Structure 1
């Protein structure tokens, strides 16, 4: 395959895979962001076993939980998990559209972000394979590290805006993308759009673990089922490899996501990556560092499975037709 053709296929495949996964799991992305933020601590308190709402209040703002950001989380009568509680709260106070907060910037960001990532990863892997032992963990490690750094550096402003929009709780007079960008620029200038990027850089460990394990599982499955290979079974194996590798990587590196979300909140006490981790741990314990991980796994497994399988499918279809 010619070099320019290779550039095209990985850009298109990466963008298509990221877009498919983002659209399919957007409501869970919103819930995950809310739970990771400082608002998530209030949500957790509301469904804690020790919590008892007074006078059987079902959804009353009078008995709501007031947060430092001025949001009010109404109390629910039944004790449910964070995921169910947050979904119910969003539907009750913000409507169905609340579940798709930040989808615009997410779609604007996910296509170029994944396109840049997969393009960088594929081209760096090709480069390293020509100079090192091909397709070894070292090659996959360095390729994922390069791709992660490139993607984070170029797309952090988009994800910053998306996070701010997802944390906006207002049902009326919602924060728009233009207003959000204007507020960030007025308050912090251009540097403000890069808040949380340090946490993203530390989070590259997650992408490195993900892709090293993904390549290993995919190679093992291809070797084991080499005599029983069809387009459909290859697609399913990529989904299995993607979901498994991402689950492991998320469990290992999850606290960086909490730190990144807290750093992107408006007017908070969080200033740096390690300072944020320390504050969260002191105030909320180990559970605070993993707040929202259940929702993240519920979202990430189908998201990554869809993304990786779509990416591999687009690469296959493009290569097969050319």
Structure 2
């Protein structure tokens, strides 16, 4: 008789000579025994594993199973206390019964007459069917959203004349704000300026316009593309959007700003409720950055060799403006 190498010199062999692996006991432990549940209602897989290891040592009547705790640890991979707690749960559920002692080990009898209800299998089948139906519903919903995206040719364009309202900064004034103003020397500057001076006076903030939602549907996001990535939303810069941008910010490279806008949001995968509104904000921000760069160029040289910059240069420029003759 050869002993198992992991059990030591005085340990019992894997199975006693008169015993054999019982197909009946193992089949019951794997398929027919009731499934224990944890306190949270999930299957008690630990107890199930220990029961299967125990069944491998029982005869066809489910009796004479007396593996040591070390054997069950070796077979299941659980620590000693985990195996002991699992045996206790199986015993409390009536799936195993203490049937005496064999040397220093407990002999167990498996309750082969206790079987799980047929509804367990039916519940699993029903859950699987519900999961398939839910997956199919998600796929249908996703496809319907993509098919509902309005084609770019069908997008309603807003005429530029209808966009500009009373109180909105005229494009000409915006252009003048970004252009260079030529200030003529005046004696009122106390001879501080001896020649025609130039000062840039860009607007502090690009003018705001009530253009929210221009393009797409004229106001709001594309139908079926609510809160979608830029490609799924089929974002397109319409002619009315271009007219608005060129009229409001004539010094801005609209095509370059739009390419930067698309590349940024395509790389991040971000979602927006209204891509036309997001594009309009991007154009305003670009215009503001351009205006800020112009502001840093205010430099007025003085006859003394010094130079006025920033706010001083703007004030000097304003003082140098010729006043109207009251007569």
TM range, normalised to the smaller chain?
under 0.3
Q: Whose strand proportion is higher, 1 or 2?
A: 2
Could you say which structure has the greater relative contact order, defined with CA pairs below 8 angstroms and 6 or more residues apart?
A: 1
Q: Whose helix proportion is higher, 1 or 2?
A: 1
Q: Which has the larger radius of gyration?
A: 2
